Structures are given as structure tokens and as C-alpha cells.
Amino acid sequence: MIIRIMGEGQFDIADVDQNLLQKYDNQVEDAVNATDEEAARKALHALHDYVVGHGKPVSDDYLGTSEAVVPFVDATLEEITELLTGEGFIPDPA
């Protein structure tokens, strides 16, 4: 699966711990649902750091699409909310 982090590029997260990735994604979604901007930003930072730290950067010449888009780390609660789907940013594994 390829994730795009707005303003930073794409990352292949096929080899990361999917349960941990979903945990971070769920934390963002829970904070947004609680309209807690501070918690949402903290959770978004954790998700960002995990993807960047464990995912593999995708080459700039990659022409495929991203399966998920994560906002930049300084996004507002409104900006985060706009990108959330019913499953958070990252679709739950099938």
C-alpha cells in the first residue's frame, strides 16, 4: 500500500506492522470525533512519524496512485477532518 503524506511524498507501507499503523490511524480518528484539536495533532504526528520512520520512500518517478492520503503534520482539525473517510486515513486491512 502506498500512502501520500501531503507536502512530503509517498511511502510504501507494505512491510510495516499493520496493527500498529491502524492504532495510530484510529487515534487520529478518535481525537477528531471528540473535536480535540490538540489530541488530533498529537495523534497525527505519531502516525506521520511511524509512516516516515518505517515506510519506504517511493521514487519521485513513480506514476501510480496512493491508496491513502495523510495531511501534513501541522494541519488544523478542519483540514484533518476533510481527509478522513469512514475508516480513518488508512483503509482497514481486508
Report the phi/psi class of residue 58: left, alpha or beta, with left for phi > 0 and alpha for psi in -120 to 50: beta
Q: Write the pLDDT tens digit of every residue in 27-79.
A: 999 999 999 999 999 999 999 999 999 999 999 888 888 888 999 988 999 99
Report the phi/psi class of residue 35: left, alpha or beta, with left for phi > 0 and alpha for psi in -120 to 50: left
- Give me the residue spans of the domains in the chain: 2-83
Q: Write the pLDDT tens digit of every residue in 46-56.
A: 999 999 999 99
As a residue count, the chain comes to 94
- Regarding pTM above 0.95, the answer is no
